[in-house]
């Protein structure tokens, strides 16, 4: 395949990837930053870095584009956190952000999203990130593991423990579930 044909296909693939994932990356960035403009900047930076990555290595076969995009976005957000130290989930709730948690877990079905956001805000930053990726963005344990650099089994156990912690924080009796 000629270089021109390869670049043409690469541009089409990039555009398709942008269309499929840009909204999710924006939601992720907004959830982490509580700032629309900064979230838009993160999306832009994420896709610029993604383009640089895919266009730099002609032989590169991406196994998991979604996980790579989240990893790039997370690193971009971490860079912003280094510049800005404040973050509040309460600000999101005040701004009308109402996460559509997956019905996969009763803990999210039976409680107001405000109570869940408050409970999540008490988690460590890495744990908040994992819960967001799992229950708001719907990433698989394997995808989360790839984004966080942990093993899939570690992520699975961590999510189970975090759900237990949230149930306790929300005073949910696990025996009734």
| DSSP H or E run through 66 | helix 65-83
Percent of the chain at pLDDT above 90? 25
101 pLDDT tier (thresholds 50, 70, 90): very low
- Domain spanning 1-86: CATH 1.10.1740: yes
Look at phi and psi of residue 151 and say left if phi exceeds 0, alpha if psi is from -120 to 50, else beta.
beta
What does the pLDDT look like over 115-173, one tens digit per residue? 777 777 788 888 888 888 888 788 899 999 988 899 999 999 999 998 888 888 877 76
Task: Return the domain boundaries, the chain.
Answer: 1-86, 88-177
111-120, long-range: CB < 8 A, 24+ apart: 111/170, 111/172, 115/170, 116/166, 116/170, 117/89, 117/90, 117/92, 117/93, 118/89, 118/90, 119/166, 119/169, 119/170, 120/89, 120/166
The pLDDT of residue 100 is 47
Alpha-carbon distance of 40 to 47, in angstroms, equals 11
Under the banding of pLDDT at 50, 70 and 90, the label for residue 174 is: low
Distance CA 150, CA 13 (A): 28
| C-alpha–C-alpha distance, residues 144 and 131, integer Å | 10
How much is the mean pLDDT over the chain? 78
Residue 29 near residue 39 (C-beta atoms within 8 A) = yes
Q: Are 77 and 33 in contact (CB under 8 A)?
A: yes
Pick the CATH number of 88-177 from 3.40.50.1260, 1.10.10.10, 3.30.70.3270, 3.40.50.720: 1.10.10.10
């Amino acid at each position: 395949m000629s270089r021109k044909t390869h670049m043409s296909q690469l541009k089409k693939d990039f555009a398709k990837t942008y269309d499929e994932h840009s909204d999710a990356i924006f939601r992720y960035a907004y959830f982490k930053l509580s700032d629309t403009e900064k979230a838009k900047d993160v999306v832009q930076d994420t896709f610029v870095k993604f383009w640089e990555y895919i266009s730099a290595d002609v032989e590169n076969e991406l196994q998991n584009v979604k996980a790579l995009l989240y990893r790039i976005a997370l690193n971009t957000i971490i860079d912003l956190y280094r510049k800005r130290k404040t973050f509040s989930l309460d600000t999101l709730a005040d701004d009308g952000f109402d996460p559509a948690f997956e019905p996969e877990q009763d803990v999210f079905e039976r409680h107001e999203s405000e109570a869940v956001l408050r409970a999540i805000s008490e988690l460590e930053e890495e744990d908040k990130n994992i819960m967001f990726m799992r229950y708001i963005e719907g990433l698989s344990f394997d995808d989360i593991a790839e984004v966080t650099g942990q093993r899939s089994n570690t992520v699975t156990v961590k999510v189970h423990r975090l759900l237990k912690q949230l149930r306790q924080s929300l005073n949910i009796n696990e025996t009734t579930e």
